[in-house]
Structure 1
Amino acid sequence: MTSPRSPLAHRIARRLLPLGRSSRSALETPHAFAVSAAHVQTLEGPGPFRQALLAQIAQATRRIVLVALYLQDDEAGREVLEALYAASRARPELEIEVYVDWHRARRGLIGKVASEGNAAMYRDYTARCGEGVAIYGVPVQNRELFGVLHLKGFVIDDAVLYSGASINDVYLATQGRYRLDRYHLIRHAGLADSMVAFVQRYLRASEAVQRLDRTPLPATRELQQAIRHLRKELQHAHYQVPREALSGTDIAITPLAGFGRSGNTLNDTLLALLRQARRRVVLFTPYFNLPRPVRAVLGQLLRRGCTIDIMVGDKTANDFYIPPAQPFRKIGLLPYLYESNLRRFARAHRAHMARGQLNLWLWRDGDNSYHVKGLLIDDEIAVITGNNLNPRAWALDLENGLLLRDPSHQLVAQHEAEWAALRRHAVRLEDYHALDNPRRYPAEVRTLLRRLSRVRLDRLLNRLL
């Protein structure tokens, strides 16, 4: 076990603890693209998301730029790669680029046999199909533990397909099971151009960002100086956004990036939006582990009388949940850790829950999993993002999101339909007693939680996960 005074623990603390409040006002420059409400579409699930992705790839004429945490070596990943190469063969002039996390692409799955990871599949496709698809690995940090590429967004010509989902069987529901996220298709040339320009300026131009579909691959240690430079660039990275006037049916859309524990535009904007809420907030997060500033703002909103709905996944809808009948592994502790966090939060706010001002929802649908995140505020603000709203996203990962401001309430029906669909597989907690008491957790879980709590490593884990 790592000593609290070890160099690794010290480095973790430096990257996680804030340096102080940012002096920038998150909403002082309300630049945005004016997008017709008719060009903003909420997709209904992973099936329509997959169909839209493949259809957009097949129709592409100029560019395809996909950014995700990973493109997996499985049926769905190969289906998308096949579609990309087919588009390249049909139109050789197409610019096709895929950006994934460097570390995630070069290892196997957690708990599985060690392997060369997804990068081996990328090299195999290049050897068989040629150079039509460029796949880049982005090392946001020197180690995956300290942060990953969590940027999201697929740009195909002038369409932006935005979801927190990555590309694999469960995200695209190709094998019967699915991991639920949110899915939006937005058609706007300026927004698409801005998102591509960000990727090309900050990622493709960096010496730290390497092609994964070619050999030999450099060792991460050879890239350390370039990675440090990339981190410095990302701390100030931003999208180029004009200030466009809205017509009566337009939505103001602002792409936002965030990286690091201070001066983070995405974090600052999320907090500012929450502080400005007047009546109602709906918050989605897959893992209940809210950053301290978010918890503080939610407490202020409750005291002001706002209604807050928070939807999280049941512990059995967590990717790392291990059913009691299966052999336990330490990674299976995580769902219980998140549920313990939720139980403490519910207990602290039991009075607000009793009068219906705070509504906590647990999502569960068979053996499927939950990965939904974002915000709905009053009837005017929506944030679609890959940000899990946890300390890791807040301080370590490279994140982005789209802020949608809807002063004429053009999208209210779409948001309400999405919210209603999510509640079909969710239950509202009456009080904190509806959640399992940690004393009734499996013996292995109780033992681990007790050991972690004894040396306060549970707090460190909450900041890293």
Structure 2
Amino acid sequence: MHEIIVDGGDVEFFTTPKEYKQQLLLLIKGARKRIFITALYLQDDDAGREVLHALYQAKANFPEIEINIFVDFNRGKRGLIGEKASLGNRALYLKLAQEYPQTLNIYGVAVKRKEVFGVLHLKGMVFDDKLFYTGASINDIYLQQAERYRLDRYCTINSAILADSFCDYLIDNFIDSGLAPLFNQTELPDALEQKKNLAALKLQLKKSHYSVTQPQGLNPSKLVSDKVFITPLVGFGRRKNELNKATRRLVQKANNNIVLFTPYFNLPHSLARDVIRALKRGVKTTIVVGDKTANDFFISNNDRFTAIGIIPYVYEMLLKRFVKRYQNFIDQGLLNFHLWKDEDNSFHLKGLRVDDRYHLITGSNLNPRAWALDLENGLLVDDANKHFLAKTDDELRGILANTTKVKHFTDIEAVEDYPEKPQKLLKKIRAAQIDRVLKRFL
């Protein structure tokens, strides 16, 4: 792992989905050399189409610009959950490829055979020498195209070295390797060829990491007062996962305080143990998690409830179990849980802040799925002189404004409080002990 030295003033945080959309479109318009976009999906909806049209316009205005987009292969071939069978978002990519004389490269990256077993969850967009990092994908709700929104974290960093590192990783693993087919071309690999590609790519990803080329003669002294130090990290699989290891080290070395964001409360066992040990050391720990109603899969209408809608209730069941077990830390004022809810909007924040100095900016949900199945990345920031503290304090205050503090485990609903359909289904799942298996994929 190699640190990248960045001026404190070259890092900026944004706090709303509308700012995310505004920045994204401005960066597309301002790019001249290269645009690399990585997201779980780029949706066929109003926001997705607006972004794609902006990308085609950028290519028309500056024909020499290189534009590469990377989305999950399996996720991109289907429609939204509950929709009829379709080509999914790929249908839009093919349509625009026919309509525009310009050419964009949209790659479909399959990290597992089926979506349930793992997805491309890399995040980060490069515009010339600027990295725009967010856990958000691109669709109506992430960009707040209408009234509803999904809240995430958003950060821009001016650094040619960091931007090169992200682009080189994508080029090496997905473009030059030939293991990620172009999604906006008619022909895709047949089943046998795709199986071979997947096997080769999985082996490659397990050994992959971000390479960093520092300017010669640079002494990365941590005594430089106006600098921050950023380490790009990638993780895939349970073993030798740099991102997971760095996440654990942050919690293990915490002395004073931890702020942890996760949209879905289901910490991996190892990380949960680290958090408990930190609490026992007297480290004040704040965990901000989405209320079950702020979950992507929450279904408010009991009459329309389907099996997929049980997911938010499983998360809440796990949360209540954890809070009940460690109520003593809440009573001592060491452990603070905040449940985020803002009308019918949803919560997608993730990451860590430790001792007001270290920040993990990541797309990882900090759950077993992210820990073992998905391809994840993140930025470990060492801000020794606390350039970002005021900015991240502002971000935290804005987030906490829409939260309710959990004072006792009884503040959280029990299974008996749920509507009839989720209550019955959850009891069946628990009776069959399926919840133990389910936790690994959530």
TM-score range, shorter chain: over 0.9
Q: Which residue of 2 aligns with 1:428?
A: 405
Q: Which residue type is aligned with residue 291 of structure 2?
A: D
Q: Which residue of 1 aligns with 2:429?
A: 452
Residues 91 and 230 of structure 1: CA distance in aligned 2, closer, same or farther (over 3 Å): same
Give the conservation status (yes or no) of the 8 Å contact 1:324–1:442.
no
Out of 161, 174, 177, the position equivalent to 1:203 is 174
Alpha-carbon deviations, 1:54-101, whole Å to 9, x = none?
101101110000000000000000000010000000000000000000
In structure 1, the gaps of 5 or more residues are: 1-28
Q: Which residue type is aligned with residue 253 of structure 1?
A: I
Secondary structure at the counterpart of residue 428 of structure 1: strand
The 5 A counterparts of 1:306-455 are: 306-455=283-432
Deviation at 1:219, TM superposition (A): 3.9
Deviation at 1:114, TM superposition (A): 1.6
Q: In structure 2, how many angstroms separate the alpha carbons of the residues matched to 1:131 and 1:330?
A: 43
Q: Which residue type is aligned with residue 187 of structure 1?
A: N
Q: In structure 2, how many angstroms separate the alpha carbons of the residues matched to 1:464 and 1:269?
A: 22
Alpha-carbon deviations, 1:212-231, whole Å to 9, x = none?
10012234443111111111
Out of 54, 67, 90, the position equivalent to 1:96 is 67
> Do residues 235 (structure 1) and 212 (structure 2) align?
no
User: Which stretch of structure 1 is more off in the superposition, 242-251 or 126-135?
Assistant: 242-251
Q: In structure 2, how many angstroms separate the alpha carbons of the residues matched to 1:373 and 1:126?
A: 34
Q: Which residue of 2 aligns with 1:155?
A: 126
Give the conservation status (yes or no) of the 8 Å contact 1:32–1:242.
no
Deviation at 1:245, TM superposition (A): 3.5
Alpha-carbon deviations, 1:154-204, whole Å to 9, x = none?
000001000000000000000111000000011111100111001101121
Q: Which residue type is aligned with residue 180 of structure 1?
A: L
Q: In structure 2, how many angstroms separate the alpha carbons of the residues matched to 1:219 and 1:45?
A: 42
Q: In structure 2, how many angstroms separate the alpha carbons of the residues matched to 1:165 and 1:453?
A: 32
TM-score by length of 1: 0.92
Give the conservation status (yes or no) of the 8 Å contact 2:56–2:102.
no
> Do residues 214 (structure 1) and 168 (structure 2) align?
no
Q: Which residue of 2 aligns with 1:77?
A: 48
Alpha-carbon deviations, 1:415-458, whole Å to 9, x = none?
11111110010111111100001112122222222222222211
Alpha-carbon deviations, 1:375-431, whole Å to 9, x = none?
000011001100000100000000000011011111111111111110010111111
Identity percentage of aligned residues: 43
Secondary structure at the counterpart of residue 362 of structure 1: strand
Q: In structure 2, how many angstroms separate the alpha carbons of the residues matched to 1:199 and 1:245?
A: 29
Q: In structure 2, how many angstroms separate the alpha carbons of the residues matched to 1:455 and 1:328?
A: 21
Residues 250 and 326 of structure 1: CA distance in aligned 2, closer, same or farther (over 3 Å): farther
Give the conservation status (yes or no) of the 8 Å contact 1:241–1:254.
no
Q: Which residue of 2 aligns with 1:272?
A: 249
Q: Which residue of 2 aligns with 1:109?
A: 80
Q: Which residue of 2 aligns with 1:293?
A: 270
Q: In structure 2, how many angstroms separate the alpha carbons of the residues matched to 1:132 and 1:227?
A: 26
Out of 271, 274, 282, the position equivalent to 1:305 is 282
Give the conservation status (yes or no) of the 8 Å contact 2:161–2:213.
no
Q: In structure 1, how many angstroms separate the alpha carbons of the residues matched to 2:45 and 2:370?
A: 26
Secondary structure at the counterpart of residue 49 of structure 1: helix
Q: Which residue of 2 aligns with 1:167?
A: 138
TM-score by length of 2: 0.97
Give the conservation status (yes or no) of the 8 Å contact 2:74–2:115.
yes
User: Which stretch of structure 1 is more off in the superposition, 451-460 or 117-126?
Assistant: 451-460
Q: In structure 2, how many angstroms separate the alpha carbons of the residues matched to 1:341 and 1:242?
A: 43
Q: Which residue of 2 aligns with 1:60?
A: 31
Q: In structure 1, how many angstroms separate the alpha carbons of the residues matched to 2:334 and 2:101?
A: 58
In structure 2, the gaps of 5 or more residues are: 215-219
Q: In structure 2, how many angstroms separate the alpha carbons of the residues matched to 1:170 and 1:275?
A: 35
Alpha-carbon deviations, 1:211-266, whole Å to 9, x = none?
01001223444311111111111011100125733421111011100000111010
Deviation at 1:131, TM superposition (A): 4.2
Q: In structure 2, how many angstroms separate the alpha carbons of the residues matched to 1:278 and 1:242?
A: 32
Q: In structure 2, how many angstroms separate the alpha carbons of the residues matched to 1:143 and 1:208?
A: 16
Secondary structure at the counterpart of residue 209 of structure 2: coil
Q: Which residue type is aligned with residue 305 of structure 1?
A: G
Secondary structure at the counterpart of residue 210 of structure 1: coil
Q: In structure 1, how many angstroms separate the alpha carbons of the residues matched to 2:186 and 2:8?
A: 45
Q: Which residue of 2 aligns with 1:133?
A: 104
> Do residues 463 (structure 1) and 440 (structure 2) align?
yes
> Do residues 118 (structure 1) and 89 (structure 2) align?
yes
Residues 384 and 456 of structure 1: CA distance in aligned 2, closer, same or farther (over 3 Å): same
Q: Which residue type is aligned with residue 193 of structure 1?
A: D
Deviation at 1:325, TM superposition (A): 4.7
Secondary structure at the counterpart of residue 221 of structure 2: coil
Q: In structure 2, how many angstroms separate the alpha carbons of the residues matched to 1:212 and 1:426?
A: 40
